[in-house]
Structure 1
Amino acid sequence: MRQKPKASGSFTNAGSVEQHSNLKYPTRLNFYDRPPIEDITLEEFETCALDRLRVLAEIESSFARNRPWDELKKVTSTQCENHGLKLHASTAYTEDLDGQRRRDHVGHFVLRLAFCRSEELRRRFVKAELTLFRVRYEEDGIVDKDVFHRSSKFDWEEASDEELAQYKSQLAAAAASSSHTHATSSTSHTAEETYYKVRWTRVPDLVEKRKVFLKHGMAFVPRREISSIVLQEFQTRLEKALEMTAKALPRLDEDTRIIPILDNLSQGFLAGVSSEWGNTTSSGDGSEVTADMVDDIARKHYPACMRNLHDCLRRDRHLKHFGRLQYGLFLKVLGLSIDEAILFWRKSFSNIQDDKFNKEYRYNIRHSFGLEGKRANYAAKSCQQILLADQPGTSDNHGCPYRHFAPENLQTALLSMYSSQGLTSADLPEIMHTVKNGHYHVACTRVFEITHSRQVSKGEGIGGGESVTHPNQYVTKSRELEVKAQVKDEDIVMG
């Protein structure tokens, strides 16, 4: 008689049992079967969802870039750390485990409301959420996994000793075909392995790869492949839950507080979600940006949207309203003071008389700085806003070149803007492929990597695998890399 390993619901010690039982959320793994029922403030409702959306958007960007699993896993973990979604194991006694897991729980359910609205949104949401769950599952320890398996009631049945003896050769053959098991050791491994029986429809990926033995519609799944059951169950439950949520969503239509938030969240996969770049004034190196510096910064550090606006301004000595608005707010956040901004625009509109400039343009510049009108501090436009709002006409220069330019014009523009920084025609097919698939910010991120290849490797994005989500984020990161490169070069000379 073989020695059976511990059942999937067992614990390693009594202390672990006590630690888990004292938590409202026993493990960091969650099927999200029950919605949060406590009071949630509107601010928490939005912030929990935005932080989670930033992580899911980077996961989708990783798929668009065909990142290998190990790289995608690393990027996901980094983004969870950056945006407050890191969930510690239950052995981390000094951490606020329930607080972390509650925030995760709330964020998931808010995004479920936002992404249940169409089949396409549901598909993308499930794919990203399943990836996040898989990352966490692979990182989790044996104890937490065992607690999760027991609490989730997977309805699997452990194969008996008689069945294992009866189907020994078939199980060994399945083990030999598994990429996780060498054929030479499959027989001895099978003799010690625990197997679980489930309907074959619950593990279609294992059936497709011939990793399981099938008998009477039941798949014999070895313990080492049990993650396939867990992941398939997560996906199936989430898909059903989203369909049910979509049917219930019309009841929220009268809530004027929540619907605008959900509308905004549902656009999050289009260009990611920017965080601190909208209102922060950052010149990249701590110094003030002057009007005379703009040309040089534009030539070396601008993303395509702002480079296009700057080049058109220099060529035409004018920009239409939405172009001035998009570029002016960008310059404000870049670090241009109100006095320098007025000086910059006055020199740029060199074919306009002083009276006309003061009457028609100076007020709007001051207004964008919050010095006129209702004196609001207007934020610079994020990639998402540039892509979705105020669509440009044929004579306009604002918008996103990756979305709003014809393919031929985009390729010509990119070579004109960035050939001096290392972009070549050989780079264009990859960039245009992402554009064709609607991943505009991924294309912009790839251009950043190419033009900063000395400091950034392919796949690293603007740092840690993060994608471009805001024009000011692009220029600030670019200037920071330039400063670091200069310091490094100086150290080499001095050394």
Structure 2
Amino acid sequence: MEVMRSQKKASSALTSSNGVSTLNLYRSAPTLEVRLEDFERFAVDRLLVLRGISDGLARGKKPDEMEKLVADLLKAHMRHPQASEVNNKDIISHFVLRLVYCRSEELRKWFLSMESTLFRYRFRSVNSDVHLSLMTELGIPYKVVSQKEFEDLRDQLNLVARSANQPLPTPNGLYKVSFEEVPELVATRKVFIQKGYAYVALNQVVSFVVPHFRSHLSKALVLTNRKWTSMIREQEKDRLTPIVEALATSYLGPDYSQDKEVGEISLKDIDQVARTSFPLCMQHLFNTLRDDHHLKHGGRMQFGLFLKGVGLKLDDALAFWKAEFSQKVGAERFDKEYAYSIRHNYGKEGKRTDYTPYSCQKIILSTPGVGDHHGCPYRHFSEENLRAALGKMGVSSRALEDVIEKARNRHYQLACTLTFEALHASSCDAGINHPNQYFSDSQKILKEKNMSTD
């Protein structure tokens, strides 16, 4: 495996004292050999950081809260036992995920946004020497404001700083760049402009560095996609391609193949727990099955593995599906065409693999066709249908608007989390990442409430 590696001079300057690599531009450098186990493990660690950032942004965390969150995520996931390998881990993980997320416009957009946010908060944590080095490497034309020029403009600079509620500028760390480099600062009137130059304080430099980083990464993702589709995917089809293609939908928590904490559910319980503890995606499949007495393959897989995970035993699963399908296709046809796949999901046929329930990420990225009912309702439902479904679940009108807003902004898992919190009157700080997690957490809360009222 070959990946791009930053220049050694830059990497040594950009590793923090706590052993976490703070900043890289991921441009070009010598090749580096990577062990297969590190290829996947490093990527998973970085993915935990990016998904943590995504959740923080979706929850509307403020900049200072995000800064702390990013620092905590890096400390938790991007360390390495050998300090000399910290920077290599950072670079390897970035380029592996670049392969993973270059493969569609939606994946590229998410990765670009999360990596740019990560870069933004890392940039804010390094000193001015690193700022200047990065600005030079990115090819950003800038000039350091001299002491005399600063004194001449002190009053105007202070006036702009006060009106923008920004710290007063100091002689050290004031730069001037073409005003076209800082449209964000110009639009919000947070920078002094004179003769085509914007005078940017040290704490504002990030405003014009991040767009350059983002632009470079955006172009690089497109080029990576071309290489992936034309060459790498086929060359590595037996080794790296399965890992790369799985990482985008990978779930990084418990697999919920058998939820020992919840225990078993029986056929007589299924209607009750469906109403109280099934997430919307599974309630929709359950209700459709009850109404139509049939689900297409995607729905059977998504719902069947979920039921397995919540504790429905094989014999009960066969009885449940047969009772529904036989009303439409007949018992004999069910036994011939559908029973095998149910036993297969439970590891009793074929390769006898113990299949695990689908995670939120896998469900969200599925593409249901006409007549399909699987997938994530927060993504695949129209807003009108989503409102109706949430209202039927019992989500209050006030909470419903928050859920709709999150779904509209593509924060589908957070929308599900808010639904959970609204229905259970309980916070879910970790967020909902798996339908079976939703069920498990719901059952725990309901049991605790029942015990307290006994």
- Aligned residue number for residue 421 of structure 2: 449
Alignment pair present for 1:173 and 2:139: no
C-alpha displacement of 1:386: 3.3
Amino acid at match of 2:35: T
Aligned pairs (5 A) from 1:221-232: 221-232=200-211
**Is the 2:184–2:207 contact (alpha carbons within 8 Å) kept by the matching residues of 1?**
yes
Aligned-pair Cα RMSD in Å: 4.0
Of 48, 65, 78 in structure 1, the residue corresponding to residue 42 of structure 2 is: 48
- Against the structure 1 CA distance between its residues 400 and 204, is the aligned structure 2 distance closer, same or farther, given a 3 Å change threshold? closer
Aligned sequence identity (%): 37
CA distance in 2, matches of 1:306, 1:169: 63
The one-letter amino acid paired with 1:168 is: R
- 8 Å Cα contact 1:279-1:378 kept in structure 2: no
Amino acid at match of 1:373: G
Residue 126 to residue 328, structure 1, CA distance change in 2 (3 Å): closer
Instruction: Pick one of 469, 474, 481 that aligns with 2:445.
Output: 481
**Does 1:127 find its partner at 2:104?**
no
The aligned amino acid for 1:449 is: E
Answer with 32-41 or 300-309: which moved more.
Answer: 32-41
SS of aligned partner of 1:167: helix
Equivalent of residue 470 in structure 1, options 429, 434, 450: 434
Per-residue CA deviation, residues 49-108 of structure 1 (Å, 9 max, x unaligned), is 3443344345445555655445555665666566x24x59xxxxxx64444443332221
SS in 2 for 1:378: coil
For the 8 Å contact 1:29–1:148, the answer to whether it is kept is no
2:269 to 255, 271, 293: 293
Shift of the alpha carbon at 1:232? 4.2
Q: Which residue identity does 1:476 align to in structure 2?
A: S
Q: Which residue does 1:15 correspond to in 2?
A: none
Matched, 1:203 2:182: yes
Aligned counterparts, 1:398-437, within 5 A:
398-416=374-392, 418-419=393-394, 423-437=395-409
* Distance in 2 (alpha carbons) for counterparts of 1:279 and 1:442: 20
The answer as to whether partners of 2:378 and 2:412 remain within 8 angstroms in 1 is yes
1:29 to 7, 23, 35: 23
Counterpart pick for 1:364 among 310, 330, 341: 341
Q: Does 1:302 align with 2:278?
A: yes
Give 3-state SS (helix, strand or coil) of 1:307's partner. helix
Cα distance in structure 2, aligned partners of 1:124 and 1:296: 38
SS of structure 2 residue aligned to 1:221: strand
Q: Is the 8 A contact 2:143 2:175 kept in 1?
A: yes
1:305-324 correspondence to structure 2 within 5 Å = 305-315=281-291, 319-324=295-300
Q: State the Cα distance separating 1:370 from its structure 2 match.
A: 0.9
The alpha carbon displacement at 1:302 in A equals 0.6
SS at match of 1:234: helix
Structure 1 residues 193-220: Cα deviation after superposition (integer angstroms, max 9, x where no partner): 5423344344333333343334454433
Deviations 1:323-382 (A, max 9, x none): 333222111122333344345445666859876665555433322111112212222223
* Aligned with 1:145 (options 91, 103, 127): 127
Contact 2:50–2:115, Cα closer than 8 Å, also in 1? yes
Rounded Cα–Cα distance in structure 2 between residues aligned with 1:21 and 1:354:
65
Contact 2:135–2:209 under 8 Å retained in 1:
no
SS in 2 for 1:197: strand
Q: 2:370 aligns with which of 393, 399, 411?
A: 393
Q: In the alignment, is the contact (CA less than 8 A) between 2:21 and 2:86 conserved in 1?
A: no
Verify: 1:281 aligned to 2:258, yes or no: yes
Take 1:475 and 1:392, find their aligned partners in 2: how far apart are those partners? 26
| Local SS of the residue matching 1:168 | helix
Q: Distance in 2 between matches of 1:428 and 1:481?
A: 21
* Matched ranges for 1:80-91 at <5 A: 84-85=77-78
> SS at 1:166's partner residue?
helix
> Conserved in 1, the CA contact under 8 Å of 2:326 and 2:334?
no
Contact 2:14 2:23 in 1 (8 A): no
**3-state secondary structure, aligned to 1:134:** helix
In 2: Cα distance, 1:69 partner to 1:206 partner: 16
On the 8 A contact 2:128/2:202 being kept in 1, the answer is no
Tell me the TM-score normalized by structure 1: 0.72
- Cα 1:75–1:290 shift into 2, 3 Å: farther
Match of 2:343, as an amino acid?
R
Distance 1:236 1:317 in 2: 51
Q: How many residues align?
A: 434
Residues 22 and 215 of structure 1: is their aligned pair in 2 closer, same or farther, counting only changes over 3 Å?
A: closer
Letter in 1 for 2:131: H
Partner of 2:232: 252
Partners in 2 of 1:22 and 1:75 — Cα distance? 17
Q: Bigger CA drift: 57-66 or 29-38?
A: 57-66
C-alpha contact (below 8 Å) 1:277/1:472 kept by paired residues? no
SS of structure 1 residue aligned to 2:27: coil
Whether contact under 8 Å (1:36, 1:105) holds in the other structure is: no
Deviation at 1:230, TM superposition (A): 4.2
Determine the C-alpha separation between the residues in 2 that align with 1:230 and 1:429. Answer: 36
After superposition, the Cα gap between the structure-2 partners of 1:203 and 1:334, relative to the gap in structure 1 and judged at 3 Å, is: same
* In structure 1, distance between residues paired with 2:280 and 2:31: 46
SS in structure 2 of the partner of residue 381 of structure 1: coil
